[in-house]
Structure 1
Amino acid sequence: MRDTQIQVPWGVTAYGAASVKAAPDMARIRLAVERIKPSPKEAFEAGQAIVADLRSVLRRHNIPDAAVSASRLRLSSAWEGYGKDREFLGYKCEATFTIESRDLDGLQQLLIGVVQAGVNRVDEVDFDVHAKGELRAQARRAAVKAARAKAQLYAEAAGVQLGSVLHIQDVDPESVGNDPYRSHGGGGATSEEDLAPGHVVVSAAVVLGFSLATQ
């Protein structure tokens, strides 16, 4: 028979999770410029020319330099094929960029413009919110409320009174290691609504430990 005895009884522990939805107010674009030329000098010159054209496009779309994160130009040898059939193509000059824009209505034209400027890799376009810290705080408050409500329910069902909070543990709601908690339900955890397109979902989770008050 499985041993279900509680070795160190002390109170009640409850897990709570919550999510807050918000319409995105910014887009984050990750892209790269690559050019292969016969010599390092030609590769650098080609890369620098495209970077200059790209920055012109960004300024036309009123994107400040502070909203652009760029790597330095990198040079590497470019090859095609494997083994004895491997062929040297030249020298590849590459730079990567992360661009943030609040003009969601102009996003399509921005993407068209950067590709026309010579960008040959658009790796990712995702949406986010600037006020993510505030949304995270809302989700954490709601997670605490959910954990407290669950603990209160357990205490009432067991015929005892819930005491003060003895332990607070922040939990990553996306972490695989939280499966033991997630299996108990979140009292406000992810629902089908959270997957609605056009929204950014910010989640939080917590484990609260309560004492049991004496009658």
Structure 2
Amino acid sequence: MTEIKEPWGLSVFGTGSVSAEPRVAHLKLAVDHLSPTPREAFAQAGAAVSRLRTVLREHGVPDSEVSGSRLSLASEFKGYGGERTFLGYRCEATYTVRTEQLDRLQDLIQDAVEAGANRVDEVRFDVLGKPTMRDEARRRAVAAARRKAEVYAEACGVRLGRVVHIQDVDPESVGLRSHGGRLGGDPESDGVLAPGAVKVEAAVLLGYGLLP
């Protein structure tokens, strides 16, 4: 049996969430080329980056909504020890693209891949005004915790006193997770991007004093 070492009142945990339709997408794209010489690797990757930038502008994505890395170069090998063989030079640049044009998202991805973004590392959906949603989720978490506290107090024949402790809890630390939609999540979607809903969650631990 668990022993209550410092009895002082009632401690309750509450969670709350708010969902909304996504309004923005974040894409992680990469230009990635393996060539026999550094010169060829830089040339191929640089040309692909130039084409990718042109495609993004054609889709109405301003440069300010695109964050990217410089071209990086590294030797690549296959195998280990005596069987290790040189494959060439890998040149890579990664980009994060933000767009609110969700109705044209599939075309943007397709055109970006055809332009030379030969890796799509992530498609993540999000909402606008997330801080406001988070505030409402916190209010709902507090309301849920208070309802629970009132039930416990009634069942024990006591009354709730004032709140003596408030602790914000990271939702992910207790198994909750704020998330966006995903690509191809519905097996019946026939390959269509299905963003679904974005859920913003909050959790709180409240401590109440008790009255007879």
- Give the TM bin, normalised by the shorter chain: 0.7 to 0.9
User: Larger deviation: 143-152 or 153-162?
Assistant: 153-162
Deviations 1:19-43 (A, max 9, x none): 1111111111111111122322322
1:187 is matched with: none
1:158 & 1:207 partners in 2: Cα distance?
20
2:95 is matched with: 97
1:126 is matched with: 124
Deviation at 1:117, TM superposition (A): 0.6
1:109 & 1:121 partners in 2: Cα distance?
16
1:80 & 1:9 partners in 2: Cα distance?
63
Q: Specify the SS of the correspondent of 2:8.
A: coil
Deviation at 1:57, TM superposition (A): 0.5
Q: Percent identity?
A: 54
2:15 is matched with: 17
Does residue 204 (structure 1) correspond to residue 202 (structure 2)? The answer is yes
Does residue 135 (structure 1) correspond to residue 133 (structure 2)? The answer is yes
Residues 43-58 of structure 1 mapped to structure 2, 5 A cutoff: 43-58=41-56
- The count of aligned residue pairs is 198
2:160 is matched with: 162
1:119 & 1:155 partners in 2: Cα distance?
60
2:5 is matched with: 7
Q: Specify the SS of the correspondent of 1:9.
A: coil
User: What is the root-mean-square deviation in Å for CA atoms of aligned residues?
Assistant: 2.3
What letter corresponds to residue 62 of structure 1 in structure 2?
G
TM-score (norm 1): 0.84
2:107 is matched with: 109
1:40 is matched with: 38
Q: Specify the SS of the correspondent of 1:6.
A: coil
Deviations 1:76-133 (A, max 9, x none): 0022344433321221110111111111110111011111111111111121112222
2:91 & 2:117 partners in 1: Cα distance?
12
